[in-house]
Chains A and B, each alone.
Chain A
Amino acid sequence: MAHSLALPPEITIYVAAELRGPWLDWLEREAGNEAEAEADGQAVEEIDGAGLQCLLALARSLEARQQSLRIRHPSEVLREACVRLGAAHLLEQPQGADA
């Protein structure tokens, strides 16, 4: 049974190394094998380039397993960061928008 990954409030260079382990665990145990693996982004208050890169790496790992990462309920901070880097495809699209 796939579980959504709850993204923490801070995803920055200062915690990136600490996030990697739990995220790899999540990949192994809880990401399931459906086409979309979900992460919940509502708690994210702070994210920087290094943090976003971690998320991109996570998405890449999922892609390697023929899965795609979908971030649900992205906070404004997270949405802004993804848009800035051209990674909006990871975000749950608002109703009516094309993917």
Chain B
Amino acid sequence: MSARSDSDFIAESLPIFIGEAQEQIESIEQLLLRLEDDPANHELLDALFRCAHTVKGSAGIFGLHRVVAFTHHVESLLDRLREGHLAFDAALGTLLLNCNDEIRALVAAAGQPDDGDDPRAAQRASLIDELGAACEPAVADPRAAPVLPTPAPLTDVGGEPQRAWVVSARFGAETFRNGMDPLAILAYLDKLGTVLSVAHDRAAVPLLDQLDPETCHLDVELRLQGDVTREQIEAAFSFVRDDCQLRVLEPGATPQDIVRLIEARPDQPRLGDILVDVGAISKAQLGLALKAQAAAAARAAAEQVPRLGEMLQATAGVSPHVVAAALEKQQKSRTHPGAGPVAEDQRFIRVQADRLDAVINLLGELVIASAGASMLAQQTRQRALAKANQSVGRLIEEIRNSTLQLRMVPIGETFSRFRRVVRDTAAELGKDVVLELQGGETELDKSVVERIADPLMHLVRNALDHGLERPDERLAAGKSGQGRLLLSACHEGGNILIRITDDGRGIRRDKVLQRAHERGLVPRDVVPSDAEIHKLIFEAGFSTAEQVTNLSGRGVGMDVVRRNIESLRGSIELTSQPGQGCCIAIRLPLTLAIIDGFLVGVGSSKFIFPLDTVVEVIDSRPTTTSLDVRGCCVIELRGQVLPVVSLRELYSLDGEAPERSSVVVVQAGGQRYGVIVDQLLGQHQTVIKPLGRLFRSLRGMSGSSILGNGEVALIFDAASLSQMASAPPGTRQRGAGDAGLPQNLHEQPQSEGQTT
């Protein structure tokens, strides 16, 4: 490859490397945090080591020397931990977390043009010193000094007294470049059992003048005795597994076992290779047999040359079944060349997010176009065409669902980022807090996940800073010294519900109210309800912390959190019991792109309710005339009182109300209410478009959509529509009036009515 295309390749692949490295760094952090809870867990240490290795290895490929050099020191410490020379403790955990932050910064810097400056050099040097010091004590302590392996007897090939595993590994060419060291793996095997003999294939290593020192040519075969399992041996190679040809042959494996291995392995044309690969014979035995075969060929005519299979049966004691199975396999692979099995590791494809977005945008257009086609078919009363359109529509819906599914990611990854935040923040504040995570497997749209992370971070910090008390305060209040913070997620209708719950001091009403009075958010003579007081916290310019701490008082108020969540078409709600804690519930739509909607008409206007919020509809009932000034009233539904609001009145729409109208029963945030509309137009695949700047101030709406005929329909946000309908009259600037709807909405029992 020319230097030019090399640099092109690197430039193109660097963002991929950075993305992958960031994932690894994230995993390292999570593993370290888990290790703090479970310091003896060897698997965690192994995984940790593997992650660090991967980062170092791929950084090497991109020539990111600072990353490689620094990660190397981290790896040395991890190696000592893994080998049991050091025990993991909180101090090491903190050091390694700090080092991981440093790696993160280095990787991030890799994306920037290198101006030769290295502002973090001093900090890095001090971390390296700390790492070195952390490795030291074990060296000074003679009891913990690494035990050298007993030199293996090298002349053990002749007799066959002990039964042992035969492990043979041809390391991949990229092994060194990936930051792996075969010697470390052999050292590890040495701890698993007793290495009876070890040999490497000398011919596999090229002459020095032909050697690329960074390409690995090592090919090792060893015999391992001891109480070990195949899994343990294979696990030793897990870091290099991808490109290492590994064969592990059990002590005393039966011919049947070997036949099974032969059948399972990828196609290979040469009999000897097949047998060596499954471990039926060792390479040395194959070499001997081939030599003998060559010698025999030199002596005899071709037809009398003994066949390799027969020779192996004779010299290496290979069972005839095994040879037959290998020959059959060989035959098959000769008759079907190139029909190799698809590699298993190709189950995942990394796709650029913008390509996916492009597909989803196109899909949106397709949905609209298809709606137009079906509408046309219906208008022209072509039944066959309408039917054809119906099946096209169904297919589009399936494509839509599976395409949107592609963007769904579990929220757990975002959640687990908070482990570190909670750990560090609690330590900084002198608090003892345990973080619990629930429902991490709940999926939602990637773009939502990305945009929810910051608001969540703010809320978590807020809970740690203002909500949870210090241990002495907690004990004085009769609670356990350790505070509890719970992050949970679950699906609720078409929404995801994220809750941040703490058992801290809760919201102090009087303080909030006092502040609200001071800031002029509430007139002095008004005493709002609890729910309204809690809402005040999300108003702009509101902060109750007596001291602006450097944690949550960074100028980002709860109002910004609320705005961010509302911009995602979500809502936020706070409930609190003084002294018992506080729960913040965030509801977010699962996706921002396309939803199932329910289309309704009022006069000449069309509106869409998200289908998930529609509980049932009451078709064609006499139009209610007893509306109050805000267009609200109550109706009876199966013996229950249901508050309803008229869209025509609420939005002052033109046109006379028809004689009969319909009611859409909508559920939002635990409340149910009816919406009076003129026509029910049925289910509609809705491509969500943002509202234009002019309509931003329009309340109760979350977006717009283009219908098949080009008309624009506004999409309701059920939660804010409910709030709007229940808001006190003054705030809606719709004149005076004070009928019972707000109270009704809030006091409505939630168990009323059945769903359709």
Contacts of A49 in B (CB 8 A): 171, 175-176, 180-184, 216, 218
Tell me if B209 is interfacial: C-beta within 8 Å of chain A: yes
Q: Quick check: A87 and B218 within 8 Å, CB to CB?
A: no
Identify which of residues 155-171 in chain B touch chain A, using a CB-to-CB cut-off of 8 Å: 155, 171
Identify which of residues 179-234 in chain B touch chain A, using a CB-to-CB cut-off of 8 Å: 180-184, 186-187, 190, 197-200, 202, 205-209, 211, 213-214, 216-218, 220, 222
Contacts of B200 in A (CB 8 A): 56, 85-87
The answer, among B155, B175, B186, B197, for a CB contact under 8 Å with A85, is: B186
Contacts of B190 in A (CB 8 A): 84
The answer, among B187, B209, B218, for a CB contact under 8 Å with A61, is: B209
Number of interface residues of A (CB under 8 A): 33
Contacts of B155 in A (CB 8 A): 98
Q: Quick check: A48 and B183 within 8 Å, CB to CB?
A: yes
Contacts of A19 in B (CB 8 A): 213
Minimum CB–CB distance from B158 to chain A (whole Å) comes to 13
Identify which of residues 12-51 in chain A touch chain B, using a CB-to-CB cut-off of 8 Å: 13, 16-17, 19-20, 23-24, 27, 47-50
Minimum CB–CB distance from A39 to chain B (whole Å) comes to 12
The verdict on A81 contacting B176 (CB below 8 Å), with A20-B213, A53-B205 known, is no
Identify which of residues 405-437 in chain B touch chain A, using a CB-to-CB cut-off of 8 Å: none
Best-buried of A23, A53, A83, A89 by chain B (most CB within 10 Å)? A53
The verdict on A24 contacting B208 (CB below 8 Å), with A48-B181, A87-B200 known, is yes
Contacts of B220 in A (CB 8 A): 85-86
The verdict on A60 contacting B206 (CB below 8 Å), with A49-B183, A86-B222 known, is yes
Tell me if A58 is interfacial: C-beta within 8 Å of chain B: yes
The answer, among A47, A56, A84, for a CB contact under 8 Å with B186, is: A84
Residue of B nearest to A27 (CB): B208
Tell me if B3 is interfacial: C-beta within 8 Å of chain A: no
Q: Quick check: A53 and B217 within 8 Å, CB to CB?
A: yes
Tell me if B340 is interfacial: C-beta within 8 Å of chain A: no
Q: Quick check: B214 and A16 within 8 Å, CB to CB?
A: yes
* Distance, CA A85 to CA B591, complexed state (A): 56
Tell me if B392 is interfacial: C-beta within 8 Å of chain A: no
Report the stretch among B144-152, B483-491, B746-754 that lies at the interface: B144-152
Minimum CB–CB distance from A55 to chain B (whole Å) comes to 9
Minimum CB–CB distance from B658 to chain A (whole Å) comes to 82
Contacts of B205 in A (CB 8 A): 53, 56-57, 60
Q: Quick check: B207 and A86 within 8 Å, CB to CB?
A: no
Identify which of residues 75-89 in chain A touch chain B, using a CB-to-CB cut-off of 8 Å: 76, 80-81, 83-89
* Distance, CA A54 to CA B148, complexed state (A): 23
Contacts of A17 in B (CB 8 A): 213-214
Q: Quick check: B183 and A54 within 8 Å, CB to CB?
A: no
Q: Quick check: A88 and B183 within 8 Å, CB to CB?
A: no
Best-buried of B151, B200, B211 by chain A (most CB within 10 Å)? B211
Q: Quick check: B213 and A56 within 8 Å, CB to CB?
A: no
The answer, among B148, B181, B199, B209, for a CB contact under 8 Å with A24, is: B209
Contacts of A86 in B (CB 8 A): 152, 154, 197-200, 220, 222
Minimum CB–CB distance from A67 to chain B (whole Å) comes to 13
Residue of B nearest to A80 (CB): B148
The verdict on A64 contacting B207 (CB below 8 Å), with A50-B213, A80-B149 known, is yes
The answer, among A20, A48, A84, for a CB contact under 8 Å with B208, is: A20
Tell me if A71 is interfacial: C-beta within 8 Å of chain B: no
Q: Quick check: B183 and A84 within 8 Å, CB to CB?
A: yes
Best-buried of B149, B197, B209, B213 by chain A (most CB within 10 Å)? B213
Contacts of B213 in A (CB 8 A): 13, 16-17, 19-20, 50, 53-54
The answer, among B186, B202, B211, for a CB contact under 8 Å with A54, is: B211
* Distance, CA A19 to CA B218, complexed state (A): 18
* Distance, CA A89 to CA B154, complexed state (A): 9
Contacts of A20 in B (CB 8 A): 208, 211, 213
Residue of A nearest to B207 (CB): A61
Minimum CB–CB distance from A96 to chain B (whole Å) comes to 14
* Distance, CA A20 to CA B212, complexed state (A): 9
* Distance, CA A61 to CA B148, complexed state (A): 30
Q: Quick check: A23 and B218 within 8 Å, CB to CB?
A: no
The answer, among A23, A48, A60, for a CB contact under 8 Å with B202, is: A60
Contacts of A83 in B (CB 8 A): 149, 151-152, 198
The verdict on A84 contacting B198 (CB below 8 Å), with A20-B208, A48-B181, A49-B216 known, is yes
The verdict on A61 contacting B176 (CB below 8 Å), with A49-B218, A87-B200 known, is no
Q: Quick check: A52 and B183 within 8 Å, CB to CB?
A: yes
Minimum CB–CB distance from B283 to chain A (whole Å) comes to 12
* Distance, CA A59 to CA B220, complexed state (A): 17
* Distance, CA A8 to CA B603, complexed state (A): 90
Contacts of B218 in A (CB 8 A): 49, 53, 85
Contacts of A87 in B (CB 8 A): 200
Best-buried of A16, A50, A81 by chain B (most CB within 10 Å)? A50
Contacts of A98 in B (CB 8 A): 155
* Distance, CA A17 to CA B208, complexed state (A): 11
* Distance, CA A87 to CA B197, complexed state (A): 11
Contacts of A85 in B (CB 8 A): 182-183, 186, 198, 200, 218, 220
Contacts of A52 in B (CB 8 A): 183
* Distance, CA A13 to CA B148, complexed state (A): 23
Minimum CB–CB distance from B450 to chain A (whole Å) comes to 38
10 contacts between A and B (CB under 8 A): A16-B213, A48-B181, A53-B211, A54-B208, A56-B205, A57-B207, A60-B207, A85-B186, A85-B218, A88-B151
15 more A-B residue pairs beyond the given contacts A53-B213, A76-B148, with a C-beta to C-beta distance below 8 A? A13-B214, A16-B214, A49-B175, A50-B176, A50-B181, A50-B213, A57-B206, A57-B211, A59-B202, A64-B207, A83-B149, A84-B190, A85-B183, A85-B200, A85-B218
